[in-house]
Amino acid sequence: MNITFLGTKVSKLSLITGEEGLEDDFNLSFANGYPDERSEDNKSFIVTFSIRICSAEEKFLLELEYIGFFSCDEPITEEFKNSHFPISNAPAIAYPFMRSFINTVTVNSNLNPVILPTINFVELARQQKELANERTI
């Protein structure tokens, strides 16, 4: 199966500056999305990131939903949905674009640049799988 990264888009952005009484916070989550099985477009999927960054020192709160778009040359199956690519590789491909976007937004907002940490999505997927296995025991 050939998979193509189509690009990214911001679906929600909120940046509030000058807020007093904030506590430092960083929360990142991501999930895959697939078209309805009855859809004619059964060859695409998305990775959606949700991030919340709060800085007490810089006095800002940034919330972002960011989407990476992918297409395949074959219909997406359940086997593909549970495979390594959408769980680890697709987020790893889209994440640097979001990372760069957040850096640019903060710099252009006259804040110190926010540089998100690098993430090993393969290791993260392994840890999540281990947690899921522990819960079923």
Q: What is the CATH number of the domain that holds 61?
A: 3.10.420.10
- Check: pTM over 0.75? Answer yes or no: yes
Residue 86's closest CA among 127, 45, 128? 45
DSSP string for residues in 23-78: --EEEEEEEEE---TTSS--SEEEEEEEEEEEETTTTEEEEEEEEEEEEESS---H
Take residue 108 and report the two structure tokens written for it: 């252009």
Tens place of pLDDT per residue across the chain (137 aa): 899 999 999 999 999 998 888 899 999 999 999 987 777 778 999 999 999 999 999 999 999 999 999 999 999 999 999 999 999 999 999 999 999 999 999 999 999 999 999 999 988 888 877 777 776 65
Take residue 75 and report the two structure tokens written for it: 């219909």
Q: Tell me which residue range forms the domain holding 77.
A: 3-136
Please tell me the total count of domains within the chain: 1
